[in-house]
Structure 1
């Protein structure tokens, strides 16, 4: 909206021609979303404290986490609001990919919002049932698939990294694959969000990786040179990713140790799903496993722990799952676990980018 207004002034002032460049709007979007979260979060924190809407810490978690009970939660509400506003301001509103990502991000965020609200209302770590959350998520992904693949004619071909000509058309099977990617990304980020600042920095790293990927596959010269599929609408998603980064940095300002507010399921489910939808739309789904390897490791630690516990009648692989709790119980201070996991995430993000030249 703001972009379209400013760009329309080009006929009168050539200076406004700068707004046609994606890189310039990426910077504007990131800065705007950062300051929007930065200024809106303090009154939101005060409101949550006034209403006594605080975090409900699960009983089976590490004992020293009990002190976090009552810390304001649902900070993801402000983050998602900032993302929505900034996408409307800085993106081409005629681009269907922007709306598809917002549909998934805000939709999953609403599911998380309901889950958080029920936990607060019941004063216990019990919100939506798992099957209820999964059902709502499946419906949303089904809507995403119907619009993208049936409405827009999006390709159901699966492109593999590292190979020039390995392409498989999944047909209707891409619906199941889309569910795997988006639900996996969303719930993996949700599992990672257990320590102050732990989930948001890996999210920023992955968003940074996909800002580059979106820009590359949306530019026919770069896509052809790197042997990647050219996707005309994808370049606008680079701006969405930049907005993700700015909003994430704004949230980190208040979520860094010791956290003044937590993201809540409204944030972790929404942001994780947003990354998954972008990975699908730029045809780089497999790179999400590399760029978001930390999220994968956290999710796998839970699945392995549960499976091993059932198979061995009570034995455990890790002291506690998800993985970050294991290292806490080994004696690592919380902020050391967080920073070291950030480093791991950054390394995997760089590895994901390096694969662009490997074909």
Structure 2
């Protein structure tokens, strides 16, 4: 963060000096034109290959809506360019909302942002209006959204602005390049098995370095390996349900299925073959909920059961 601030301060000083020189050159605005051209080069072109058929998400926004948001909220030019670039790269597909609720990425990033604000104590990322809205949304199990809803659009763009601020604040000095940042949130439907396999088998000279200095990267590789192993062994069995009313002390076939499923993904230890809902299962459910961006209550909902029953493929 300090490095970024120093860089910005230096850049501002340099820009001021350039402006002073330009002002004394008799009104020649070529420097400003060149600067504008350089800025435009840092904006990704709109990716027309993303269509409603192959898009990761099913909601799209209008480019004019983004322009209106930037103008109404007086978004600084540096962030405005990145916002435009971000949505150009997605062909103006929503990043955080789908018609059937918050995306997994929205819940995951909100958990990260909330942790950074409240535990790392970085108040620069706090947006009270966004926090109120997201706290309300993440507490809901069943949600429906429409692309034309103004509140949803506002929250979508606020989330993206928060994402950009976070990335620029914690990955300064080009550690994460603009195009890499734009790929963090899925844009197209991809074959998960192919992606996991490529992560594990693709050779890269910096792989060992990444694993040594970035626990998240090492963790991703471990989980990708676990997932690939599950797929190659035939996936996981469907949990029959229902889960309503399941609590500590209950006994049923569903409880045993839950234990087997959560053990596969490492959310609880393997080897518990009893059909009794115990403390170990409660913690396993909490681990699953935390991993998926839900509030870790230890009590499974029907919506979360649907998540568990998404087939491994």
TM-score, scaled to structure 2: 0.30
Asked which structure has the greater CA Rg, the reply is: 2
Query: Which of the pair is proportionally richer in helix?
Result: 1
TM-score, scaled to structure 1: 0.27
